[in-house]
Amino acid sequence: MYILKNEFIWITLILVGLFFSSATPYSEQSIVSPLERFEWGWAEPMLGNVDFDYAGDPVSLETKGTVGLIEFLIRKAAHFTVFFVLGALFVKAVSRTRIHAGLTLLFAWALATTVGVYDEFHQSLTPERTPLIQDVVLDSFGALCGVVLLGGLYLVKRRKRKSRSSYMMTR
């Protein structure tokens, strides 16, 4: 049970995972082939509305095809999700310092964003990988959401627990 409660273990696992992921060329981590095994016709009506630019490249069903668009969305959702979790874990780790809650949230977000910057830099050293400022922004936004939503809830819960225990001690 200790492993589930220790945020430092989870932060380390995420950082190691990011390191190896960033060091892997795209051709070795592409999920296009496995995705091509499925019939995606049912998703095309929903995907037909997707049309935007990402890092100067058009992203749509027409430009990427069904499987290419699905892979793109999965990869970007992974960016957001990993940094969402990382941001929340950093809140828990930084809160051990007992600094003000607002500074805890800010510092946790800054740490996660810094990890995103270094992750993209690491990708620049890897063949077939392209570092993108848009990915740093996506990572930073995911971290911000994790910091505010999960981290904020953690701090509120911790504060209530402390005030309840101090109330019980004064009685």
What's the pLDDT tens digit per position in 70-98? 999 999 999 999 999 999 999 999 988 88
Dig out the tokens for 166 from the structure: 């101090």
Q: Which residues of the chain have pLDDT under 50?
A: 1
Verdict on whether the full-model pTM lies above 0.95: no
In whole angstroms, give the CA distance from residue 53 to residue 112.
25
Separation of CA 52 from chain center: 21
Give me the pLDDT at residue 166, please. Answer: 58
Give me the pLDDT at residue 55, please. Answer: 94
| CA neighbor of 77 nearest in space, from 9, 31, 130, 128 | 31
Contacts of 47 (CB under 8 A, 6+ apart): 61, 66, 69, 70
| CA neighbor of 82 nearest in space, from 41, 140, 37 | 140
In whole angstroms, give the CA distance from residue 27 to residue 7.
32
| CA neighbor of 37 nearest in space, from 8, 70, 9 | 70
Give me the pLDDT at residue 171, please. Answer: 55
In whole angstroms, give the CA distance from residue 89 to residue 112.
9
